[in-house]
Structure 1
Amino acid sequence: MSNSSKSISSTLLVSLTINTFLLFSSMVNASYYEKISPTQLGFKEEKLTHLRFFFHDIVTGPKPSMVISVESPIKDKSKSPLPFGSIAVMEDPLTLGPELDSNLIGKAQGFYMTVSQEAELYLELIMGMTFTFMEGEFNGSTITIMGRNAISSPIKEMPIIGGTGAFRFARGFVQPKTHRVDYYKGNVVVEYNVYVFHYSSPSLSHEI
């Protein structure tokens, strides 16, 4: 091989090595995240909204909205209808007023489980649920709750962990207050006051 051919081969080898190194370096330094402003998604100023509605937990009748999906291993149900370890699944109607035939504004879908070993004295639940709204400005939007609900406590509070639609980036808290209990049927009506920070959102069809 001539000296000129050797020189060309060496040059090509060096070029290939450099290009491979640069390609590898760019792959290593590539990031899967970036910092952006909410305005890049079409969001404007953050605001605080107060919602008030009534939650109906219906356990009797032809179409209950709550069912016990996992029975507690504790066999004695005489002291508490939901002994330690019970898990219930719900799809409860949300209404504007305390009566079930009041204007339906949405539904609560989720679960709750008994986490107190002395449930007959202190019924404590861990609740995870999503409020889906079907009426007015927030039609199609959701708020998700996850937290501890001490039923016997005069003041109950659970955190908002997120939301969708008009409640994207949601944060805040809810305060449930028992409005009425039917001790014969087991049905419960709960007043919910919801305090949620969220952005003035673009249309639900806004593409991200």
Structure 2
Amino acid sequence: MAQNSVPKLSTSSLVLVLALAIIFLAQAKELTETQMSLYLQDIAAGPNATLTPIAGIAGKLWTFTQFGTVYVTDDPITETPDPNSALIGRLQGIYVASGLQGRNTYASVSIVFTSKEYNGSTLELQGNSQQFEQVREISVVSGTGKFRFARGYATFETYFLDQPNAYSILRCNVTVLH
């Protein structure tokens, strides 16, 4: 008959494991919920463009509705819709027209905070954006600095649109636990 080979913990090992568990639980903090509204100043044409196509299907027009078009962005983020209001960060990353029908983009972007209490922190956003919906929602999947281990969601809505000048202001409402 085979003997049971389950190792036994010594009393000192058990005490050490319990002590570490107690220390871990004592250091664990409750998650904080943060909500904020940010305004993206988006310029899609001209010498000061903050959003530009960088790749696409050969022979096809590179547009937000053309499947396969890749955009890179570096939009200023302001406190209010006024483009002259305080700069609080940048939205940096990529968008890819990922829906064959031209209605969806895949977004992988970072909110990089450059001022006030969140200076140096980031929020990482990722997901499918149904670009012709009034309100688009994507996931907050991570963060750094004050937002380490963040999770939540962000909604985007067009606050202002000036099509002839390829300029828009997007309101981004963010809700995160961190």
TM-score range, shorter chain: 0.7 to 0.9
List runs of 5+ in structure 1 lacking aligned partners.
Answer: 1-33, 199-208
The root-mean-square deviation of aligned C-alpha atoms, in Å, is 2.2
**TM value normalised by structure 2:** 0.80
1:86 positional shift: 0.2
Contact 1:72 1:82 in 2 (8 A): no
**Equivalent in 91, 105, 115 of residue 125 of structure 1:** 105
2:126 partner amino acid: M
Q: How does 1:93-104 map to 2 (within 5 A)?
A: 93-104=76-87
Choose from 156, 160, 163 the match for 1:180.
160
Identity of aligned residues (%): 30
Alignment of 1:35-74 (within 5 A): 37=24, 44-73=29-58
Structure 2, unaligned stretches of length 5 or more? Answer: 1-19
AA aligned opposite 2:146: A
Q: Distance in 1 between matches of 2:142 and 2:46?
A: 33
**Superposition misfits of 4+ residues, deviation over 3 angstroms:** 34-40
CA 133–117 in structure 1, closer or farther in 2 if over 3 Å, else same: same
Greater fraction strand = 2
TM-score, scaled to structure 1: 0.69
Matched residue type, 2:119: N
Is this contact kept in 2: 1:74–1:84, CA < 8 A?
no
Residues 75-131 of structure 1: CA deviation (Å, up to 9, x unaligned): 256xx5541110001111000111221110000110000012222xxx211000000
Q: Which has the larger radius of gyration?
A: 1
Q: How many residues align?
A: 158
Shift of 1:183: 1.2
